[in-house]
């Protein structure tokens, strides 16, 4: 089969391209921004990339066009596909029908922690010799790739609640039909497509409806939103984590299930959020046949995911971290995790409010509270529809906002001193700010 992927350079669609290639299909694709690192990764797989959405690409005559959710009506290639009545399908549907069908799917859903928990779960299964396939929205450092196809019956997928395609407004995860479903947490996000939290809860309810009676739902026991989701109907056994009635982990790493000790996790990851992620992964892996003590031992060798508290370098005694945090809750937990490690060292938070939800300003009032534990805050406020300086004013003199990236870099490097921890948070490339900061910090 020849598939042509529209929007191939997104993490999810790029992962589908890799899986399709590994399955023996011919894969080509296009995007409006064909650039490294995704472009080089795909080209290394022998996947032909085309810049832009020129309607002439129909001359490739693929068996099917696989459409990412970055494609909307008015896209010239998509309009030509529709006008000619050519076959097209969404990325999640193609994945479900061509990769996931017949697999024991372990799907990890939630507002936060999907990528890390999926990576943990895949690693536990790998360490136990189960050789899982996976599609994850980041690069787990234990594997070095974000997607792979194997002959194992097990497949781990990061289950996103964002919509599927312009012609299918259901959440992506509705297509995956998991046997093991992790509900990590649930808060309001994606204000560009969801009007309120209730609308997202409805999508999670639809996911729960697809889990079979002999499957398992692993749910965060601290989330009232998930309690509401499950109260709307659940036909599957549920194990909760984060409460004494289910899976818990103490600050020392002691893990218990229903108050029965399972083992002690010794690792380097920071924060309560990662302890919760670990519990979810241990519980889900146990459902797939990996005893809890083996899961705990495997996580001691877990190397995290790129862009999750990843140290990008040290210059003149200043450590620069990169993190994907972009929602106020994720920002708060990331800063708190670093504070637990940094102790009395200063934390210089460098933030780019880049997600669609943040650009709309829906959560701007929550930003000051999420940055409370940082000593200094530097915010890149370009291209926002709201005043970042006004929103962060409750933080007082410890915050500065910039519309020029080079000016921000100069300000951070001027303020930094040996021993400081610079925490860069963005869900995008942030204009290569990490390298610019390290260069400025290293300069005489």
- pLDDT tens for residues 211-221? 999 999 999 99
pLDDT score recorded for residue 369: 86
Partnered with residue 402 across adjacent β-strands are: 380
**Mean pLDDT score of the chain:** 91
* Per-residue pLDDT at 81 exceeds 70: yes
Structure tokens at 304: 């995290």
Q: What's the CATH code, domain 310-442?
A: 3.90.190.20
CATH homologous superfamily, domain 102-299 = Mur-like, catalytic domain (3.40.1190.10)
* pLDDT band per the 50, 70, 90 thresholds, residue 36: low
- Give backbone dihedrals phi and psi of 238, rounded to 5 degrees, phi first: -125, 130
pLDDT score recorded for residue 355: 72
Average pLDDT rounded to a whole number, residues 69-79: 96
pLDDT score recorded for residue 7: 94
The better pLDDT of the pair 27, 389 is held by 27
Residue ranges matching CATH 3.40.50.720 in the chain: 2-89
For domain 2-89, the CATH architecture is 3-Layer(aba) Sandwich (3.40)
Highest mean pLDDT pick, 38-42, 217-221, 342-346: 217-221
pLDDT score recorded for residue 100: 97
* Per-residue pLDDT at 191 exceeds 90: no
Residue ranges matching CATH 3.40.1190.10 in the chain: 102-299
pLDDT score recorded for residue 382: 82
* Per-residue pLDDT at 203 exceeds 80: yes
* Per-residue pLDDT at 311 exceeds 80: yes
* pLDDT band per the 50, 70, 90 thresholds, residue 248: very high
The better pLDDT of the pair 289, 303 is held by 289
Residue ranges matching CATH 3.90.190.20 in the chain: 310-442
pLDDT score recorded for residue 37: 65
């Amino acid at each position: 089969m020849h598939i042509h992927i529209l929007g191939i350079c997104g993490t999810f669609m790029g992962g589908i391209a890799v899986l399709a290639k590994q399955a023996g299909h011919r894969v080509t694709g296009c995007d409006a921004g064909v650039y490294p690192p995704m472009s080089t990764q795909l080209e290394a797989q022998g996947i032909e990339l085309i810049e832009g959405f020129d309607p002439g690409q129909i001359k490739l005559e693929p068996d099917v066009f696989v459409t990412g959710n970055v494609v909307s009506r008015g896209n010239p290639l998509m309009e030509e596909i529709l006008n000619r009545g050519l076959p097209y399908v969404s990325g999640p549907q193609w994945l479900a029908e061509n990769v996931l069908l017949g697999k024991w799917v372990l799907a990890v859903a939630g507002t936060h922690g999907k990528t890390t928990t999926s990576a943990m779960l895949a690693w536990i299964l790998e360490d136990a010799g189960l050789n899982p396939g996976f599609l994850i929205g980041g690069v787990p450092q234990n594997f070095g790739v974000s997607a792979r196809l194997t002959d194992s019956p097990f497949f781990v997928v990061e289950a996103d609640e964002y919509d599927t395609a312009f012609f299918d407004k259901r959440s992506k995860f509705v297509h995956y039909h998991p046997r093991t479903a992790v509900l990590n947490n649930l808060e309001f996000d994606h204000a560009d497509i969801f009007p309120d939290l209730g609308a997202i809860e409805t999508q999670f309810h639809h996911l729960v409806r697809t889990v079979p009676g002999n499957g398992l739902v692993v749910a965060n026991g601290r989330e009232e939103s998930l309690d509401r989701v499950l109260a709307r109907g659940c036909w599957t056994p549920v194990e909760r984590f984060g409460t004494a009635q289910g899976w818990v982990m103490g600050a020392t790493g002691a893990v218990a299930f229903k108050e029965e000790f399972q083992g002690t996790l010794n690792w380097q990851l920071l924060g309560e959020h990662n302890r919760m992620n670990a519990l979810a992964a241990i519980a889900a892996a146990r459902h797939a046949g990996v005893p809890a003590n083996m899961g705990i031992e495997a996580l001691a060798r877990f190397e995290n995911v790129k862009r999750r508290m990843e140290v990008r370098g040290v210059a003149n005694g200043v450590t620069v971290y990169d993190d994907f945090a972009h929602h106020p809750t994720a920002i708060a937990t990331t800063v708190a995790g670093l504070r637990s490690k940094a102790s009395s060292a200063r934390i210089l938070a460098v933030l780019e409010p880049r997600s669609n939800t943040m650009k709309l300003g829906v959560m701007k009032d929550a930003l000051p509270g999420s940055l409370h534990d940082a000593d200094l805050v530097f915010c890149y406020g370009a291209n926002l529809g709201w005043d970042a300086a006004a929103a962060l004013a409750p933080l007082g003199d410890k915050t500065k906002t910039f519309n020029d990236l080079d000016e921000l870099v100069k300000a951070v490097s001027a303020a930094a001193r040996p021993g400081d921890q610079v925490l860069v948070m963005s869900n995008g490339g942030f204009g290569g700010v990490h390298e610019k900061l390290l260069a400025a910090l290293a300069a005489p």
